[in-house]
Amino acid sequence: MSEYTGYKGRSLEFLKSNNVSVGDSVKITADLTFLGIIMPRYEHSDDKHVVLKLNNGYNIGLELDKITKIEKISSSEKTVESQPKIEENPSLPKILLLSTGGTIASKVDYRTGAVTPILSAEELNSSVPELSKLANIDTEVLFSEYSENIMPDHWLQIANKLVEFSKSNYSGIIIAHGTDTMHYTSSFLSFALAGFPIPIVLVGSQRSSDRASSDAALNLIGATRFLVECKSNGVYVVMHHDESDETISCHLGTRVRKNHTSKRSAFETIGNSPAFVITGDKIQKNVEGNYFKINEFTPKVSLDTKVALVKYYPGYNAELLDKIIDMDYRAIIFEGTGLGHIGKVLYESVKKAHEKGVFLGMTSQCIDGRVGMTVYESGRDLLNLGIVPLENMIPEVALVKAMWVLGNSNDKEEIKNLMLENIASEIS
């Protein structure tokens, strides 16, 4: 990182003239007095402000014209912290943590204010020392991506790595993952690895580890406690249950959505309670029987991305659907209104797609509930046009399942049967 990353023009000259650079601890006098660390700026930022990370972890922008004085308290010379080697405790179970990115397995470099990946068990133990009392944790970094950049190819990479450990002596596996697309990844792993013999949990954090309200440590502790104590196979998303620092939810990987942009309790099980709820040392189980409907583990790690998720709305242009069909997409998942409806403006396009052999599935835009396409005439018309109702499958889950199904079959009837088969509790 440059000592002036993101600064240009007036702001760059201001830092240079005051012998201050990114990572320096400073005292700034403006309308108030501020103590903190000079932070790097985004590439496209203006040149009228400097960014300061306050001691409480929050960043603020200070306008140059309002700054009357800046004093450097200490420089940004980096010190390398040596982490003590962790001695394995033979009485504790073993857990594997795979990192794919996100803030959950990261730490803050207070020299620059940047969040950097935790690459070793020693660093993880230093950051969340409670983990070493629960399990011996091995760590491995698969890749480091913001979750919006994780693509189906990454799902395949994660799944193939997990297959390597299907016969290991680990009690479970944690996947550190960004939150925005975590439920897409959990859905694919649920289908591709149905019957996996040990539990897999995806863990993220809504608040970065430099903030006092960070949920990273508690989510990791809850996930580890779940893997150690529950002995329940399946793929789960483990996150805060509510805004307190006491309760963690374990959601089935195919029945969960991120329903809030920033709350720590952003993830919710749709249509039911979370599979498990962890409060301190107490674990409440809310599901009965086997999460996987397939008991024998036979990995099917393949997919086909020629699937479209179409959200219908008043005014939807049928030419958009025609374009998808002409691009030789093999499946279209509709996110219809109410019980599973789309306007008659799309009927001719739907007929064209059905005649071409495209799988057509219907889900609902409603957060909860089941599609019911025999209630109204419009629904019955769509059934006659070849659209298959997908019960109460979450639209994003139906999209991922269709990718997985098409990656494992070319037979039209088998594709339909697999989409309707309840493989990993995607239909509740």
Indicate if 69 belongs to the active site: no
Annotation says 180 is catalytic: yes
Query: Is residue 46 annotated as a catalytic residue, yes or no?
Result: no
Catalytic entry in 112, 179, 185, 254: 179
The active-site residue, picked from 24, 53, 100, 103, is: 103
Whether 5 is catalytic: no
53, 107, 258, 401: the active-site residue:
258
| Structure tokens belonging to residue 87 | 């001695």
Residues annotated as catalytic (active site), given as ranges: 103, 179-180, 258
